[in-house]
Structure formats: structure tokens, C-alpha cells
Structure 1
Amino acid sequence: MKPTIALMDSAPAIPSVRWALASLALSMLLSALGTSIANVGLPTLAQVFHASFQNVQWIVLAYLLAITTLIVSVGRLGDLTGRRRLLLTGIGVFTLASALCGFAPTLELLIAARALQGLGAAIMMALTLAFVGETVTKEKTGSAMGLLGTMSAIGTAMGPSLGGMLISGFGWRMIFLITVPLGLLTWVLARRYLPADNQKPKTDRAGFDGLGTLLLALTLAAYALAMTVGRGSFGALNVALLGAAFLGVGLFIFTEGRVASPLIRMAMFRDPVLSASLAMSTLVATVMMATLVVGPFYLSHGLGLDAVLVGIVLSVGPFVAALTGVPAGRIADRVGARRMTLVGLLAMTAGCLTLAVLPETFGIGGYIAPMVVVTLGYALFQTANNTVVMANVQPEQRGVVSGLLNLSRNLGLITGASAMGAVFAFASATADITKARPEAVASGMRMTFAVALTLVLICIACATCRRTAPGSD
């Protein structure tokens, strides 16, 4: 009863909770902005540093790789050492790295600074979700998750447009320096308003699994590189990296079963709720990546839109996600997160089915309408799915579970960029997709979203099994 009284009956406590949520929301905004704002600057950076596109793309990859490889480990570290302390460190690292990016004199130093920025972002992404359970009551978890989802969508949506304006008005360095004052504000709010860590005696603290952390990081790095190097071609290097990733998975599972304090307890995956939620998160992220991979090609080559219109149409999805995140969280609190998960997946099913047939018949309107449905479904699913997991997880496991949720999403995005792109290219039956005929692009569109529809149907099966699992509501 005490947390409820503090939140509902004590007037001075309400602003503190709101400012604490503001610090978490800004943390999520910054980490998402760091992902999207750099992409628009790649052509400029290639000219400035006289580098090839293959080289400057590491400005983006270094950030994503750091997040993907470290997010579970930093979540677990927060569980062991204190989440507030580690989150403040992460915000500080992100802010410092942003300044280093802005003043980097060479491409190599810029890439290194971006990797450091990714470390800070990994800490922020993992611990913001974990902090929700310590900041609001269980009955308000969905609303808080919706707010964080909204800020993530806003950061993703505004990155390209904000980055373009900053580059044209102030130069490329400003796309990194703009996050420095925001990072300082976030650090001040987090330090002032986030709840203090519960100090445990040193004898009660579990040890940190250094070997497991290293194995997981190398495994995830190998998989991420296998899915991203080569820009669409899958050669011997990709096969070798993928083989190394599978070997790493086996070594990691073997190691975790034998250490005293494992990074991830394999018994966690016996929980059907957690396992189904992670699997669905990966599959849904794979589907959403298809819209980002296929959408630009279909709009430009299939419907013949110019670059300005393509950008406007592609911004519809993130805009819808930004508008629906908070309402989705409130609905999840009222009607039940598990039920809203299924509703979101059904909406995505309808959207994917429509995307496979409508655009060719109804043109741009036939693309936008189902995209709105897909994105609305994704916003409902993401908020509800995160709520189901984080509302019931044990306090000492919040960091690592939050890391796993973020990791499952990142792996889905990485897999989707490669796998769904390959499906699109195969179905278009064209070696160079930029020179494909409109009919070939439309064919690729239909096949890609037919595959996406299959993935969403698998998610519905997982959600149904999760609802009928023992102990589920």
C-alpha cells in the first residue's frame, strides 16, 4: 500500500514521479535519436572524410553493434551494482561520446566515439525499462511503457529531418553536438529524481559473469556482422561469421550452466511468458524492418514518387507510433496487456495482408492506409508486450530482462534488414533493384509482405500459447 499512497495521496510526491519519468523518457529519446540522426549525414561525411560509403556506414554500424553486443550485460550489471548509479554513468558516457563525435578530426576517431556512444545508449535503453517498476505502481506500468515507446518513436522519426536541418544550417558536427545539452539535462534530472539504489552487503552480492559476458558479446557481434557486412551479398565471410555465431551460442549455453553466477540463467527461458514475449518481439521487429527496407524502393520505383514525397510517406509510420504510444499504454492498463498484445498482432495481420494487395491497385493511398494499421498494431503490441514482461519480473532480474527485451528487438531489426531485403530482391527477380521495372518491384512487395504475414501469424500462435500457459491471466 505504501507506494500507492506515495503516488496518489501525497501531492509533493507526484512531481517527483513525473520528473523521474521525464528523465527516463529523455534517456529513451536520446538513444533512439542517436540511431537515426547519423544516417542522414552519411553522404556528407563521405565527402568530408573522402571515404567510401562502405567505410562511412561504420558510423552507424559501430553504434548499433555496441548496443546489440552489450545491452544484456549492462542490464545484468545494473541488477548487481545499482541501476541508478549505472544509468547516471551511461548518460554521462553518452554525453561525453556525443561531444567527442562532434569534434572528431578523423573518420577512425569518429567511429570509435560512436562505439562509445553506443555503450552509453545500451545502458540507457536497458535500464530505462528496468526503472519503470521502481518509479510507478504496477497498475501504471502500461502507461509508463507507452510513454517510453512514444519517446523512442519520436527520436526515430525526428532524427532524419532534424539531422538534415542541422547539417544544412550548422554543418555535420552539430548532429552529434545537439545531444550534449540534452544529455546534461537528462543526467541532472536522473540524479535528482530517480530512486536511490538499495545497497546490499558485499557478502550478499552475486558475482559478475565475465566469461559469459565476453562470449555473448562476441556471439552477438558475429551474428550482427554476418547480417550486415557485404551490403546485401552473402559470401564466404558472412557464412563464416554466422557459423561463429552458432558456435558461440553453444559455448555460451555450456558456460552458463557451469558458472556460479551466470549472466543469463537458462531456467528463465522455461517461463513460457518470457520465452514467447522474446520470440514475438524478434519476429515483429523483423516485420517492421521490412517496411523500412522495402518501402523506399516501392515508393520510388514502383509508384514513381520523388524523394520529397518518399520521405513524407515514410514519416507516417513513426508519426503514428508517436501518437499512439501513450494511449496504448493506458488501454493496456485498463483492459489487460495480454489482450492488447493479441489486438496489436491482429492489426498487424490485417495491415500486412492489405500491403500485399492494395498499393498496386490504389497507389499511394493503398500504401499509407495499411501502413498506418501496421504501425498502430506495432505500437499496441510493443507497449503491451513490454508491460506483460516487466510488470511481473522479479526486482533483482529487471535489468537483465529489460536487456533481453531490447536485444530481441535489435536482433529482429538486424535480421529483417538482411532477410527481408533478400526476400524482396529474390521476388523482384532483378540483380540491381534500382533498375527494376515497376511490375518487378510490385511483385517483390507482394512476396515480402506475404512472408511478413506468416511471421505475424506465428506471433499470434505464440500469444495464444502464452495466454493459455499455467499462471497466465
Structure 2
Amino acid sequence: MIDPIPTATRRPLSPPGWWPLAAIVAAVFMLMLDATVVTVALARMRDDLHAGLGDLQWVMNGYTLAMAAFQLTAGSLADRWGRRRSFLTGVALFTAASLACGLAPNAAVLITMRVVQGLAGALMFATTLALIAQCYTGRRRGLAFGVRGMAAGSAVVLGPVVGGALVSGPGWRWIFLVNVPAGALTLAIGAAALPRHEPARTPRRIDALGPFLLAVALTALVFTLLRGEDQGWGSARTLTTSVAALVALLLFTAVEHRRRDPMLDLSLFRDRVFTGTQVGSFTVQASIFAMLVYVSLWFQDGLHYTALKTGLCFLPLVVPILLAGPLAGAIMDRLPKGLLVSASLAVLAAAIVLMRGSTAWTDLAPGMLLAGLACGVALPTLGALAVDIPDERHLGMASGVNNTVLQIGFAVGIAAYGAVASQDTLFLIGAASALTGAAITALLMRS
């Protein structure tokens, strides 16, 4: 039996204002920007560090996989150790790792520090939804989720813009070094503004085996998708990594089911809305945001755009997210959230279909505009649903689940699209993924 949370510990004693949100949004923007800002800098990194293609892939995937594997642990740790403390520790470690990335003398050091960035990012990112739910209520909470969703979505697609400007200007190392002053400012705002008053915590043992099994499962899955085309989908190595991923996932589920204080409370998935939220979050990342990596490469390799011009071509996707995100956050409490999610995913599928057959940037622009509107509605709504749970002491866990799913969707999408032979097939798979997600979320979230 879980004791109810004392009334006095449910919320800060006075409204915290918008400074906590400023720290949260700054952290989210840095994290999501770093997921894609590297895309347009890979060629320069290869030349300067004498890196191979495999090194470049792990510069991208080391960050994403570390975030995905540690999200659940970070969320549970925040529930036990304190969300404010976890957030600030993550910001400090992320800033230090960014400095080390910017000064990396070779590919091995860069990859290692990217992994550290991912681990620190998980510690930060896993607490952001929970901190918003803790700090704000009612319409202010909806608006806060909208702003956070806007920051996350726009950072992903602004990554190539910012990266292109920095690579074309001071050099690729500045895509990491720019995080140092930004991280220091975020740390200062967070230390001053985030509430120290949190729900009562019960000391529990940290689950060490669960994160290890989850990391093995995710790494084996992504490795299978990345290497399956080259090694052959029926080869012994591909089959081995596939089986390893499945076995590790089954063992992870069994371990979490048997533990008294699990990293992941599987009972959360008894709630159909919570499960539908994870499906929707995975769909957005896998269908459109992972696709942007290959659209960026097409702009540069196929259309011979510069890094900066490539980044600017994503503005038709960014601007609608910036406009629709806060608006969706303000009105989401007045409309059925399940309907907002499934409808926005259906619109996203239509937007991706519009991008088929493109031979120039102008052909993509209408689909990008529509996709931006769909993401601007979906992202804040999914963020609000992710932490809409009865027990506030599990907000960090719920947030960690959602953030894990987001990272898995991005990593799996990148790996899956990498095995696609043609651009036309890429858009078809993306549209089919979005439409499937719309159907599943509509079924799970129906009233």
C-alpha cells in the first residue's frame, strides 16, 4: 500500500512564475538541438579527425542510445533523489561533456564524450515533464507543455540550421562549444528558480540490472537495423543481434516484473491512454524527425546545397511548430486529448505523402508546412498526457518512459530509413508509420 502524498507537499506554496520553465525549455532546446546539429558537420569532422564512416555513425548513435538506455533510470532516480538535484546535475555534466567534445583530439574521444553527453542529457530530459507537472497547474500547465513541445520540435529541425551556420563560420567544434555558455546560464537560472519543495520520497534500492538489459536490447536492435542491409538480413550476425535484442528485452520485462522497486513499473501500461501516448510519441519521432537526417543528406549530396542553405530549407517545418505549439498547449484542456493526438498523426501522414516525388526543395515545402502544424499540436499534447498519472511520486518514471520512447523512435527511425533503397520508398514508409500510429492511438485513447 502506497501512502497518499501529504497535501502540503503536492505543490509549491506559491506560484513559481515562468523562470522554472525558462530553465526547462533552455535544457530541452540544448538536448534536442544536439541530436541533429551534428548532421551537417559530419563531413568536416571526418576530415579533421581522420574518422571513418563507422565512427561518424557512432557520433550520432552514441548520443541517442545513451539517452534512450538511461532515461528510465534517470526518471526513477529523480523520483528518489530529487528532480531539482537531478536536473541541475545533468546540466552541469552535459556542459562539461560539451566542452570535451569541442576539444576532442580524435574520433574515439569525441564518441566517448558524446556518450557522456547522452547520459547527462537523460538525467536532464527525464525530469523536464515532471518538473512542469510539479510547478504548474491548469491552463498554465497546458501552456508550459506547449512551450516545451515547441522548443523540442523546433530544436530538432533547427539543428541543421544552427549547425550549418556554425560549420560555415567558426568551425564544427563550435556546435559543441556553444553549449558551454548556454549550459552555464541554464544552470544559474535553474538553481535560482526551480522549487526545492518536492513530493515526499521513499528511499529505495536503485535497479542496476534493468538499465543494463535495456541498453543491451536497444544497442542490439539499432545495430541490427544499421548493419542488416550490408551484412544481409538472413546472415548469422544479423540473426544473432536480432535474437540478442529480443532475449534482452524479454529478460528486462521479467526483471522489472519481479522487482519490488522496479526502474519501470509495468502497471503504468495498464492505462490505455498512457500506452497510447507512448505509441504516439514513438510515431512522431520515427516517422518525421528521423526522416530529416536523410532529407538533410539529400539536400547536400543530391541538390549540392551548402550546410547553411540546407538548414534554412527546414524553416517551413520549424515556423508552424513555433506557432502551433503554444496555441495547442493553451487549448488542449478544452478538447479531447486523444482526438488531438490521433488527428494530428493522420495529418502528419498526409503531409509526408505530399513530400513524395520531390525533385527540389520547393516540392517539399507544402508537406513540411503541414507536418509542422501536425507536430505543433501533437508534441505538447503527448507531453501533457505522458505525466497525467495518479501518483505524483512516479512523475519522473512516467516522464522517463516517454523520453525513452522518443529516443528509441528516433534511433529506430534513423536505422530503418538507412536500409531503404529509394527516396520515394522512404516517404511511403514514413506516411505508413504515421497513419498506423494514428489508428492505434485512436483505438487506445477512445473515450
Q: Distance in 2 between matches of 1:160 and 1:356?
A: 21
**Contact persistence 2:67–2:121 (CA under 8 A):** yes
Which residue in 1 is equivalent to 2:364? 367
Name the CA shift for 1:351/1:106 in 2 (closer, same or farther; >3 Å).
closer
Matched, 1:333 2:333: yes
Deviations 1:212-267 (A, max 9, x none): 22222222222233233478665544432222110001111111222221111222
**Residue pairs, 1:129-168, within 5 angstroms:** 129-168=129-168
Matched, 1:402 2:399: yes
Offset of residue 450 of structure 1: 3.5
Which residue in 1 is equivalent to 2:434? 456
Gaps (5+ residues) in structure 2?
A: 1-6
Offset of residue 79 of structure 1: 0.9
Name the CA shift for 1:317/1:208 in 2 (closer, same or farther; >3 Å).
same
Larger Rg: 1
Matched, 1:258 2:236: no
**Contact persistence 1:68–1:221 (CA under 8 A):** no
**Residue pairs, 1:73-472, within 5 angstroms:** 73-198=73-198, 200=200, 204-229=202-227, 234=232, 236=235, 237-289=237-289, 291-292=291-292, 295-296=295-296, 305-308=303-306, 311-356=311-356, 359=358, 364-422=361-419, 424-425=420-421, 428=422, 444-445=423-424, 447-468=425-446, 472=447
CA RMSD of aligned residues (A): 2.9
**Contact persistence 2:11–2:135 (CA under 8 A):** no
**Contact persistence 2:291–2:417 (CA under 8 A):** no
Offset of residue 75 of structure 1: 0.8
Which residue in 1 is equivalent to 2:4? none
Matched, 1:46 2:70: no
Offset of residue 63 of structure 1: 1.2
**Contact persistence 1:85–1:197 (CA under 8 A):** no
Q: Distance in 2 between matches of 1:68 and 1:294?
A: 21
**Residue pairs, 1:64-79, within 5 angstroms:** 64-79=64-79
Q: Distance in 2 between matches of 1:232 and 1:380?
A: 38
Offset of residue 335 of structure 1: 2.8
**Contact persistence 2:49–2:105 (CA under 8 A):** no
Deviates most, 192-201 or 109-118: 192-201
Q: Distance in 1 between matches of 2:258 and 2:389?
A: 27
Q: Distance in 2 between matches of 1:298 and 1:270?
A: 42
Deviations 1:300-326 (A, max 9, x none): 89xx74415655433422333233221
Q: Distance in 1 between matches of 2:11 and 2:383?
A: 25
Q: Which amino acid aligns with 2:137?
A: T
Offset of residue 356 of structure 1: 4.2
Q: Distance in 2 between matches of 1:36 and 1:297?
A: 12
Task: State the identity as a percent.
Answer: 28
| Partner secondary structure for residue 263 of structure 1 | coil
**Contact persistence 2:199–2:392 (CA under 8 A):** no
Gaps (5+ residues) in structure 1?
A: 429-443
**RCO greater where, 1 or 2, for CA within 8 Å and sep 6 or more?**
2
Offset of residue 346 of structure 1: 3.0
**Contact persistence 2:349–2:431 (CA under 8 A):** yes
Q: Distance in 1 between matches of 2:300 and 2:95?
A: 37
Name the CA shift for 1:345/1:156 in 2 (closer, same or farther; >3 Å).
closer
TM-score, with length taken from structure 1? 0.83
Which residue in 2 is equivalent to 1:25? 25
Name the CA shift for 1:4/1:372 in 2 (closer, same or farther; >3 Å).
farther
TM-score, with length taken from structure 2? 0.88
Deviates most, 38-47 or 348-357: 348-357
